[in-house]
A and B are shown apart, each in its own frame.
Chain A
Amino acid sequence: MNPIALGALTLVIAPILGGLLMGLDRRITARLQNRLGPPILQPFYDVGKLMGKQPVACNSFQGVAASLYLMTSVLALLMFVLGQDLLVLLFVLALGAVMLILGGFSVKSPYSQLGSQREVLQMLAYEPLLVLMVVGVYLQTGSFSANSVLALDRPLLLTMPIFLVTQTLVIGIKLHKSPFDVSASHHAHQELVRGIYTEFSGLQLALIELAHFYELVLLLGFVWFLWHTNWLVGAALALAAYFSTILMDNVTARMTWRWLVSFMWTWGIGLAVANLAAIYFMLRVPR
């Protein structure tokens, strides 16, 4: 397909898909709590309402942070869809994450400061796993480009089974799901104030929510990659990963950041490295 058309299509479809999935999440969470839950379209209502609120800001950097966060999420997704370099993509995503953290830091508020401090740690917890997954891809395709995966004729899951687990954990951390929600909770009603998001309001918060839609699609896209040969199986894997994070969210409680970092740096990285080692061994990667 024409890359520009593909990009434009992604720009439109991704937020719709992401928003629907988020709505589904709210609904499922409610059902798991024996409630009826909001309509599936609720995330869109929320974003729409936030956009209509009076613009309020503590400083002018907050808006920059929110806008960069959205823009990098969009850019990263576009790079993914257009088959660009996955490693560059991850660091573009990291740029957005850092900007969000700085946005939280830019306000002299105890809540957002604490949230940002903890978001730094969340980033510390998931970042190496994302990079290691991409390295796993490189080991088998000899390239970091997303297109090279599509050129592969066997599903990646066969050689990278553990990355399904680590990627699920990463989605959990990225979406601020329990027990990984140390900097803020995904669902606002699960906490008193909203950690790193506390001081963003109105349009800024709407941009951040919108960025979450794009980001969710991107993260699920990474899972989909594990079985790219049949897109239905890939989608099923992605949904399964997503629903397991929702389940995890509902059956666990928030843990401390110490636990988060040490868990991800021992078990998370340990498992990922074990999988990579197996790939090295199996493929006898040439020196």
Chain B
Amino acid sequence: MGILGKARAKSPWILHFDAGACNGCDIEVIACLTPVYDVERFGMMNIGNPKHADILLVTGTCNLRNARVLKNLYAQMPEPKAVVAIGACALSGGVFHECYNVLGGVEGIIPVDVWVPGCAPKPEAIIEGAVMAVQRMQERASGKVQPSEDESEDEHA
């Protein structure tokens, strides 16, 4: 891990996208920024702009309307990047799975690197997920993993 790798590990900027959450997960994501958890300790910052972001945190289910938005945001993030799906909804659709408009989880819309299960997951779990995403991003930048085609070795927090 050279200087660049170290810088990358120390400065993951986060874009948080609420697809169709009940807001439970969002509250937990925001909680990570509060003095109790303070993710800025790790250099993480919540920035609302895909062009600056390294890690995309997605909460909630995907439907036809927001799937396109999610894809667009993902496409506008420059490489290297990673995606973390947060909460049961983002994993599979969760309690909304059977709704007429729900497509399911984030997987299938954009490639997911880290799954953080829970309804809602605790902030600690979310932070750990983000840290894992940083590792994923490192591997990808160093050429070990090709951009998220393979789903076999995905970690679960």
Contact = CB atoms under 8 A, between A and B. Distances in A.
CB-CB nearest 3 A-B residue pairs: A48-B7, A201-B51, A45-B10
A34 interface: yes
B78 A56 contact: yes
Interface stretch (A35-43, A142-150, A161-169): A35-43
A191 B11 CA distance: 18
Given A35-B40, A49-B8, A199 B35 contact: no
Interface string B43-75: 101111101101000000000000000000000
A171 B148 CA distance: 44
Interface size bucket, A side? 35 or more
Interface in B1-42: 3-4, 6-8, 10-11, 13, 33, 35, 38, 40-42
B150 interface: no
Nearest to B48: A192
Contacts of A202: 78
Interface residues of B, number: 27
A43 to B, nearest CB: 9
Contacts, number: 90
B154 interface: no
Contact of A189 (B3, B4, B10, B46): B46
B79 A194 contact: no
A281 to B, nearest CB: 50
Contacts of B10: 39, 41-42, 45, 49
Contacts of A46: 7, 11, 43
B109 interface: no
B52 A191 contact: no
A12 interface: no
B141 interface: yes
B33 A188 contact: no
A39 B11 CA distance: 10
B4 A48 contact: yes
B52 A45 contact: no
A45 B4 contact: no
A199 B10 CA distance: 23
Interface string A192-206: 111001111110010
Contacts of B33: 189
12 contacts: A38-B40, A38-B43, A42-B11, A45-B7, A48-B11, A49-B4, A52-B4, A54-B79, A188-B13, A188-B52, A189-B45, A194-B49
Interface in A77-109: none
- Most B Cβ at <10 Å: residue of A47, A51, A188: A188
B35 A33 contact: yes
